[in-house]
């Protein structure tokens, strides 16, 4: 695996290829990230991953400075997963001057759910993804379905800007007990790790209630929130939304259930299509 740190080096190396397959990450890699790399590998003629902790998508009170950086382990894991090229710029390389040009996704999609609780988050995500796309110029990029709203926003961004990039969503990688793998799982204590699966179980309980005929979405969501809160969680939302645009569903709509909640100091997210 070749490692490059500058955009010039990246473009020089990629000049010989016609369809890079790209997996952007913030490092601190786990099996979920590696599954994305393995899924990307047969989709292009060179497999590229990036590691960049993007300051623009962290709120002032969030964990930018303490976000785990595990460089050596990340490189070993990427190489073992079959990554051909790692792009690892520092901040001055990717943002040589203040990034005053930014991508603002539409409020009806980006200021709900995650965007409501993390204002400006998707501006930071879209801006860095657009910039990484400009650097790598991939033919295909693979993102995880765990970040359901993020994936939808990136798909819309690529469509509206007519970028020649195929966006592939990869199934969420889970631990044996059902917990969605996340870099932030590493913040959990041993007891919190045992409890953490309750978020996915809450979504499954919502799905079971829907299957049993529940039609009062507000009551369904309130019950799920109350159930987690009684276990000591601080839930931000457990919501039933329309898959097509994440708006409130109408009868007959295909649904996705989305949840975000804090357990101790660790905020976890998950989703379930029903």
Which are the catalytic amino acids?
Answer: 33
d(CA 83, CA 147): 22
Listed residue (139, 145, 183, 171) closest to 47, CA to CA: 139
């Amino acid at each position: 695996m070749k490692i490059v740190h500058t955009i010039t080096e990246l473009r020089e190396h990629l000049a010989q290829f016609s369809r890079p397959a790209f997996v952007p990450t913030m490092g601190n890699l786990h099996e979920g990230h590696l599954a994305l790399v393995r899924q990307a590998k047969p989709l292009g003629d060179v497999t590229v991953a990036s590691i960049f902790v993007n300051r623009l998508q962290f709120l002032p009170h969030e964990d930018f400075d303490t976000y785990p950086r595990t460089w050596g382990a990340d490189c070993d894991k990427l190489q073992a997963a079959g990554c051909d090229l790692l792009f690892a710029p520092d901040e001055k390389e990717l943002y040589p001057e203040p990034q005053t040009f930014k991508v603002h996704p539409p409020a009806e999609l980006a200021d709900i759910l995650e965007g409501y609780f993390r204002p400006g988050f998707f501006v930071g995500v879209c801006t860095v993804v657009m910039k990484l796309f400009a650097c790598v110029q991939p033919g295909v990029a693979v993102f995880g379905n765990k970040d359901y709203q993020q994936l939808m926003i990136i798909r819309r961004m690529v469509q509206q800007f007519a970028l020649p990039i195929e966006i592939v969503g990869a199934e969420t990688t889970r631990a044996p007990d059902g917990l969605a793998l996340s870099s932030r799982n590493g913040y959990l204590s041993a007891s919190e790790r045992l409890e953490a699966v309750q978020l996915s179980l809450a979504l499954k309980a919502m799905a079971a209630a829907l299957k049993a005929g529940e039609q009062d979405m507000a009551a369904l969501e309130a019950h799920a929130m109350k159930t987690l809160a009684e276990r000591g969680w601080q839930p931000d939302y457990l919501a039933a939304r329309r898959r097509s645009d994440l708006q409130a569903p109408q009868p007959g709509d295909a649904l996705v259930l989305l949840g975000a909640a804090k357990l101790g100091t660790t905020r976890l997210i998950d989703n379930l299509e029903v």
